[in-house]
Chains A and B, each alone.
Chain A
Amino acid sequence: MTATSAPRRAAAPPATGGGPAPARPLPWLLPVLFFIGLFYLWPIIDALRLAFTDASLLDREANFSLDAIGAMLGSAALGTVLRNTAVFTLGSVFGQLLLGLAIALLVVRGERNNLRGMLVLRTLVLAAWVIPGIANGVIWQMLFSEAPFGAINSTLRLVGIPPVAWLSNPDNAMMSAIIATVWQGTAYSMILLYAALRSIDDTLYEAAAVDAATPWERLWFITLPELRGALLVNAILIVIMTLNTFDVIISLTGGGPGRATEVLALYAYNTVFYNFDLAGGSVLSILLMAISLTLAAIVAMFLPRSGRP
């Protein structure tokens, strides 16, 4: 979808006569193949194998067994965890996409009209993105805290509104985790959609102006259709990122209260590193991978053809 913005690509086939020697790519690729093989492919295969054993983190012996798969898929906690994962992922992804799109549209509109302060907004949003996830959880805990130093509740008290149990009430805790995640992750959607917006052909808007289209019509009939590819790619990437990370949750709520914010990635982590159940954790992490790939494939089906280079 960047075809219009990068017309001067130099990657033509090697020139004939006087050009570089014929390509022997293997030595060039070797370091990357080594890392990918050793640190991605082999561990994935091993995780699959471990899922069919009774391996624990502490001893090295492992025998073939289907117990782990049965125990994990049959556990009472899994239903709660999967529901949490669905709510957390949906909430975070929609929040990031909508807010990211809104900010990108505002910044582009502001820049077209030479408004001041657009760079400030863009910088603030991106600054939240570079803050480590763990620090993000700690910061939001200080905002949501029900102790006297909690920013939101102490402000509410100042204006005479009773404090809200942002983190100790199970229903609110999930919302709070989503807010903290959206705060940090919006930057990514914003910057992708900002770049995509800037690459939309201006003549489309000029034609719309001739037809006296309203701003709403321009958004609905030009901008959103043109952004479709970028929105979908963006959705795939953040769905996967949201499913796979739990650092904001672990430092904001630790998965609690109870299991109220325990998502699948955190559950898998706890199974391995707190219960030392290597086989069970492998089952869960493979389930996580299967869910990510399925969702990515479903979203990818809606991609316009020829989206990829």
Chain B
Amino acid sequence: MIQSRRSRIGNALTYAAVIPLAAFFLIPVIWLVSLSVRTPQEVFLGASRLIPEAPTLANFGQVLTDGGFRLYLWNSVKLAFLGAAGAVAFAAPASYAFSRMTFRGKPALMMGILAVQMVSGLVILIPLYRYMDRLGLLETHFGTTLLYISAGIPVTVWLLKTSFDAVPMELEEAAAIDGLGRFETFLRITLPLAAPGVASALILNVILNWSQFLIPFVMLSESAKWPISVAIFNYAGATNATTTQLLAAACLVAVVPTLIVFLALQRLIVRALTSGALKG
């Protein structure tokens, strides 16, 4: 009896802490949604119109058509997916080697790959800006994608190594007996068996690339090439108090795709985060 009463009090205390915390994380997004469906008049009524009396979707229409946000969305999709696919494609063979082969210098190399991830993008981008300029890759999505790939590679190597580690060796040995070469074994046996891990790595890269700001901000100055993060930043600088509802709509447009991907694939993402991160 005492035990159960104590745990009931404990549960009540748990909720007493959980509810304000949940509110802290939820309210900013609710406010964004609220502003994005208001008319300019209602924007100025502040918190008293949390639920607007005359909600409108016109702000989204205006942002997507006149604001050019459809193009920015497309640019973001392109850069995020190409960057993620590139990072996974280039990292996978190395992860396989780290998972399956023993060779001299392996631990040092793996720690080295982890260490470069800690280098600020700024240190790298300052000299790279000049190379890219000389190679004619400034202002191109190709050059930008190369940088997205290199930003994603270190963490991807580790994520994929962890998922290859979980594939039983016996299957590969059987494949070798059947005469499959090492690369064929990797491509036809290990990679498909590690598919959930590969998918998590891909999604995590897409989400991180969607947030990427510094690389495109430095590389791309022509607005037609901007991903949505850079577009939002410039739009925020160009709007004023009378167009807050448009900025809110634009911001929501930038946030919703990544939220949908996250909510749909939360389990994979959480797994990628915990498996990769705990190796740290």
Q: Is the CB of A82 closer than 8 A to any CB of chain B?
A: no
Judge whether B32 is part of the interface by a CB distance below 8 angstroms.
yes
- With a CB–CB cut-off of 8 A, which chain B residues contact A139? 28-29, 31-32, 251
CA distance A41 to B116 in the complex (A): 8
Answer whether residue A81 sits at the interface, using C-beta atoms and an 8 A cutoff.
no
Smallest beta-carbon distance B144→chain A, Å: 12
Looking across the interface, which residue of chain A has its beta carbon closest to that of B46? A154
Q: Could you say which of B22, B126, B168, B263 has the most chain A C-beta atoms within 10 Å of its C-beta?
A: B126
Asked whether any CB of chain A lies closer than 8 Å to the CB of B119, the reply is yes
Residues of A within 8 A of B26 (CB): 124
CB within 8 Å of B: which A231-277 residues: 233, 236-237, 240, 243-245, 247, 250-251, 265, 268-269, 272-273
- In the complex the two chains form, is A113's CB within 8 Å of B10's CB? yes
Within B154-192, which residues are at the interface with A (CB < 8 Å)?
154, 157, 165-169, 172-173, 176-177, 181-182, 185
| Contact stretch, chosen from B53-61, B62-70, B145-153 | B145-153
Asked if residues A124 and B22 are in contact (CB atoms below 8 Å), the reply is: yes
Q: Is the CB of B127 within 8 A of A289?
A: no
Give Cα A10 to B168, complex, Å. Answer: 6
- Residues of B with C-beta under 8 A to A308: 111
Q: Are A138 and B247 within 8 A (Cβ)? A: yes
State how many angstroms separate the Cβ of B20 from the closest Cβ of chain A. Answer: 11
CA distance A109 to B16 in the complex (A): 13
- Interface contact B10-A32, CB-CB below 8 Å: no
With the chains together, A194 CA to B114 CA distance in Å?
22
Quick one: closest A residue to B270, CB to CB? A191
B278 nearest CB neighbor, chain A only = A2
Interface assignment of A293: CB less than 8 Å from any CB of chain B: yes
Q: How far is the CA of A292 from the CA of B122 in the complex (A)?
A: 13
The range of chain A's interface size is 35 or more
- A contact face: mostly helix, strand, loop, or mixed: helix
CA of A214 to CA of B243, assembled, Å: 55
Q: In the complex, what residue of chain B is closest to A2 when comparing beta carbons?
A: B278
Q: Is A19 an interface position by the 8 A CB rule?
A: yes
Contact A35 B102 (CB under 8 A): no
Contacts of B244 in A (CB 8 A): 142, 147, 149
Chain A residues closer than 8 Å to B48, beta-carbon distance = 154, 158
A18 at the interface (CB under 8 A from B): yes
CA distance A153 to B48 in the complex (A): 11
C-alpha gap A308/B143 in the complex (Å):
35
Cβ of A85 under 8 Å from chain B? no
Tell me whether A301 is interfacial, beta carbon within 8 Å: no
Please, could you name 24 A-B residue pairs with CB atoms under 8 Å apart, sorted by A?
A: A11-B165, A13-B102, A14-B102, A28-B97, A31-B93, A33-B94, A60-B130, A106-B17, A117-B22, A127-B29, A127-B259, A130-B261, A132-B258, A137-B236, A139-B29, A142-B32, A151-B46, A154-B46, A192-B274, A247-B214, A265-B120, A273-B218, A289-B120, A292-B119
